[in-house]
């Protein structure tokens, strides 16, 4: 089984997290902030109704304070050519957003975000003429007059937001956007009043804070998202950040919301391999320096961790953006004593941030209704219309199908041939850095029990056993593909499932056939330090080179590669092979793939592309690469060459029913095995359950 993650000890009550807090301008009902996360509903005024439904559900679920996705104060600062901008037209449509939140007794801020050189269009502008790795366009240098106009635009946009009913605004000064670009010497080399030393570099953020405070008046809340660690060479020092924080509060900022790392930083800050609350000591340091409330963020997705952060005095509020994407009713469940039923965010980024960076609407892998509240609706059924539903297979698709059907009011029985639930997700939880996947399975267990789902483990039903049901949902998943390769002795040949389940022990020289997501995971499993740095923050920061942000290490990061310290990495020769000519790991997520590729590179994993497999014998694995035949003298070959759907049961039930019930639905890997797309599988499960 995966190594269980440490949890703070104590009862499952949350007195600190659920206590109200007076922010000066108004009181919030608890310490839970839904931090800013762009979902793609912000960009068009026509989507205001969908945005209202999305944010309104989080307000009804009990979030104390909600911050919208970022809205630019002007055209120059838009993230994309048609990106969100706080225009009169857009914010008139947002009256329904603020009304929806206020009717649920919530509070909401509009975030003002200027992309700077992150703009994905030719109008972008920054402190200097430069291009970031996130955009193909080179930003122009803002003139002195242009800086002044930008300050005015922030103030005007803030005024419009308050007029639209927002309780205030948040100024985005973190993550490497425009204000962060003015603050860091690596991007601000100006010689005028908006540069020329640390005081000049912070002049623009301070001017914007003052102008926005004057524009929104005394009753509205002003939050500033401040970068505590830039994590890029040439970033800010701690002393500069502290001076900025003092200046912001002097100019009327009510709350400091903390951000960690630029989007182009080469240190992960939010993916699942980052330890829980990894950067909270930085937040605590800021809280000691200022007298306004401070919001902690980054990988504080577990309510128990959040409670501990508050109890220890490290912060005043907790930002839980992705957790509230996963479960909009998280605060209400904590208040009602249903904490074990909270839908666990696994910080995978697959359906949220990866989608945003691809220009698509964001949702959530474990909650496909997120961002689709008006389109994917689970309507309750009366007892008279309840159907008897059998779900066969307890992988992610089967678990969610059973849960969604039961929550609608249907009578559901879940069959699983194995002795444990989880399917491929349970295997993934064995990978160092993905330990939190086990938390998702614990959440499903508790929610299935609460919904009254009957679970039969160790049971493989025959077609005749299912004829008494109205609906049969076949979620029997996949089986590893067997490769057609002559084997004549030599290395042991095992499947990835045998390896991860502990049924086979790898040797010291391993070849992995198949370099998709599972192949990359297996390579990390074979080489990652033990114990996993994810479980120990101090080891993780050493592993990634995170240090004190001072003059010697501006931005709080060293230039040495991750894992170059003696961190317990396994000394094993690993070859990762694929038939495709493309870069290994090219199909991984936009926000997570680079992390995996970095780990493999510094683990010394040897990549082989465009190979043809010939045979396995006593000499090893024979292959053709670059037109020449090679032999890898390995002692273990792990097969990760894809999967095939296991869906014979569907045909058997259809044949046995002879035109009568049950109706048969095939979902998840049993329907499409390609790439093991958990997001698609879970969404398909909810869609089928919604249609019963």
| Whether 154 contacts 211, CB under 8 Å | yes
Our CA angle for 487, 490, 496, nearest 5°, is 70
Within 10 Å of residue 218's Cβ, how many Cβ atoms? 8
Write the DSSP assignment of 620-688 as a string of letters.
EEEEEETTEEEEE--SEEEE---EEE--HHHHHHHHHHTTSSPEEEE-GGGT--GGG-HHHHHHHHHHH
Our answer to whether residue 613 is catalytic in this structure is no
Tokens of residue 261, six digits:
């790392």
Closest by CA position to 100, among listed 70, 69, 73, 63: 63
| Whether 23 contacts 253, CB under 8 Å | no
H/E stretch holding 94 reads none
Tokens of residue 25, six digits:
């301008």
Task: Look up residue 502 and give its DSSP letter.
Answer: T
| Whether 149 contacts 110, CB under 8 Å | no
The C-alpha atoms of residue 342 and residue 609 are separated, in whole angstroms, by 43
If phi over 0 gives left and psi between -120 and 50 gives alpha, with beta otherwise, what is residue 676?
left
- Strand ranges (E), 404-560: 411-416, 454-457, 471-474, 478-480, 487-488, 492-495, 509-513
Within 10 Å of residue 379's Cβ, how many Cβ atoms? 7
Write the DSSP assignment of 543-600 as a string of letters.
HHTB---SSTTGGGB-SSPTT-S-------EEEEE-SSSSPTTTTS-TTTHHHHHHHH
Annotated catalytic residue within 54, 177, 437, 613: 177
Closest by CA position to 683, among listed 328, 396, 327: 396
Q: What CA–CA distances, in Å, run from 360 to 226, 260, 478, 668?
A: 27, 24, 28, 22
Tokens of residue 690, six digits:
């919604």
CA quadruple 451, 456, 458, 459: dihedral, nearest 10? -130
The C-alpha atoms of residue 405 and residue 412 are separated, in whole angstroms, by 7
3-state secondary structure string, 20-68? Answer: CEECCCCEECCCEEECCCCCCCCCCHHHHHHHHHHHHHHHHCCCCEEEE
Q: Which residues are catalytic?
A: 177
């Amino acid at each position: 089984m995966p190594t269980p993650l440490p949890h703070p000890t104590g009862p499952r009550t949350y007195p600190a997290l659920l206590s109200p807090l007076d922010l000066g301008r108004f009181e919030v009902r608890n310490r839970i902030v839904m931090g800013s996360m762009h979902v793609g509903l912000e960009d068009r005024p026509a989507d205001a109704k969908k945005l209202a439904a999305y944010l309104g559900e989080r307000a009804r679920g009990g979030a104390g304070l909600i911050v919208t996705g970022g809205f630019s104060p002007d055209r120059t600062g838009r993230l994309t050519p048609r990106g969100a901008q706080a225009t009169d037209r857009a914010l008139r449509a947002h009256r329904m957003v603020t009304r929806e939140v206020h009717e649920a007794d919530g509070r909401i801020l509009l975030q003002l975000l200027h992309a700077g050189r992150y703009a994905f269009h030719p109008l972008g502008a920054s402190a200097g003429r430069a291009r970031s790795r996130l955009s193909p366009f080179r930003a122009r240098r803002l003139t002195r007059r242009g800086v002044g106009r930008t300050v005015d635009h922030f103030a005007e946009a803030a005024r419009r937001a308050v007029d639209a009913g927002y309780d205030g605004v948040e100024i985005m000064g973190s993550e490497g956007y425009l204000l962060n670009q003015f603050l860091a010497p690596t991007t601000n080399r100006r010689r005028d009043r908006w540069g020329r030393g640390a005081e000049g570099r912070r002049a623009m953020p301070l001017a914007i804070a003052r102008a926005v405070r004057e524009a929104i008046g005394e009753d509205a809340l002003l939050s500033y998202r401040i970068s505590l660690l830039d994590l890029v060479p040439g970033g800010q020092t701690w002393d500069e950040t502290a001076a900025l924080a003092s200046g912001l509060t002097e100019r009327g900022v009510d709350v400091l919301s903390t951000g960690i790392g630029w989007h182009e930083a080469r240190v992960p800050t939010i993916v699942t391999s980052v330890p829980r609350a990894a950067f909270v000591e930085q937040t605590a340091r800021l809280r000691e320096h200022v007298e306004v409330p401070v919001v902690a963020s980054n990988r504080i997705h577990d309510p128990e961790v959040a409670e501990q952060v508050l109890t220890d005095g490290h912060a005043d509020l907790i930002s839980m953006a992705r957790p509230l994407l996963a479960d909009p009713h998280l605060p209400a469940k904590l208040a009602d004593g249903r904490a074990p039923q909270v839908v666990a965010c696994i910080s995978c980024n697959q359906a949220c941030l990866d989608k945003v960076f691809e220009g698509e609407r964001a949702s959530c892998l474990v909650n496909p209704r997120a961002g689709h509240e008006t389109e994917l609706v689970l309507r309750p059924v009366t007892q008279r219309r309840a159907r008897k539903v059998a779900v066969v297979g307890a992988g992610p698709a089967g678990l969610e199908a059973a849960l969604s059907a039961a929550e609608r009011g249907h009578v559901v029985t879940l069959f699983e041939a194995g002795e444990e639930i989880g399917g491929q997700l349970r295997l993934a939880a064995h990978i160092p850095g993905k330990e939190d996947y086990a938390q998702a399975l614990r959440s499903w267990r508790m929610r299935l029990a609460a919904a009254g789902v009957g679970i039969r483990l160790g049971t493989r039903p025959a077609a005749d056993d299912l004829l008494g049901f109205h609906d049969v949902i076949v979620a029997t998943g996949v089986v590893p593909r067997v490769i057609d390769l002559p084997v004549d002795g030599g290395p042991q040949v095992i499947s990835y499932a045998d390896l991860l389940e502990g049924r086979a022990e790898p040797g010291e020289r391993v070849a992995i056939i198949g370099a998709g997501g599972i192949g990359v995971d297996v390579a990390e499993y074979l080489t990652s330090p033990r114990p996993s740095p994810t479980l120990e923050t101090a080891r993780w920061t050493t592993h990634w080179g995170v240090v004190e942000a001072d003059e010697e290490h501006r931005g709080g990061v060293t230039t040495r590669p991750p894992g170059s310290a003696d961190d317990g990495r396994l000394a094993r020769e690993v070859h990762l092979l694929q038939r495709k000519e493309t870069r290994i790991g090219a199909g991984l997520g936009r926000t997570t793939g680079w992390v995996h590729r970095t780990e493999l590179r510094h683990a010394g994993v040897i990549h082989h592309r465009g190979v043809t497999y010939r045979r396995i014998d006593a000499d090893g694995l024979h292959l053709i690469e670059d037109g020449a035949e090679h032999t890898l003298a390995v002692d273990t070959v792990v097969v990760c060459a894809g999967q095939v759907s296991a869906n014979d049961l569907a045909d058997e039930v259809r044949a046995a029913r002879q035109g009568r019930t049950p109706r048969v639905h095939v979902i998840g890997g049993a329907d499409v095995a390609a790439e093991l797309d958990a997001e698609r599988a879970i969404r398909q499960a909810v869609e089928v359950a919604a249609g019963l």
